[in-house]
Amino acid sequence: MTGIRVRAHHGVFDFERERGQEFVIDVSVAVDLAGAAAGDDLGSTVHYGELAVAVARAVERDPVDLIETVAERVAEVALGFAGVEEATVTVHKPQAPIEVPFDDVAVTIVRSRS
């Protein structure tokens, strides 16, 4: 999933915590899809609607300083879904307080069960 938009209050500066800003989350999960495809069974895969809601809730909760911490939190949530062996998470902070023009600030992490 790409482009999950969440308003949250993460950041190092007081004004980021007070006003909040939009964060954009991309999540890719590695899942063995053979069983789901063979049986056409939603129960044998990850319900992406439920994953999206869980990701948004993880981003919205208690503010932290760093988007790296947010990324770890999201990866932990994704790995909590049955069948997910690996999660790649990118957290974008397009309204980061930077003094020069820019398009995006983002961090990407890859985490696995092992």
What are the catalytic residues?
93
Rounded Cα distance between 87 and 100, Å, is 32
Residue 61 has, within 13 A of its CA and on its CB side, a CA count of 12
Residue 98 has, within 13 A of its CA and on its CB side, a CA count of 11
Q: Are 57 and 7 within 8 A, CB to CB?
A: no
Q: Are 104 and 92 within 8 A, CB to CB?
A: yes
Q: Are 90 and 108 within 8 A, CB to CB?
A: yes
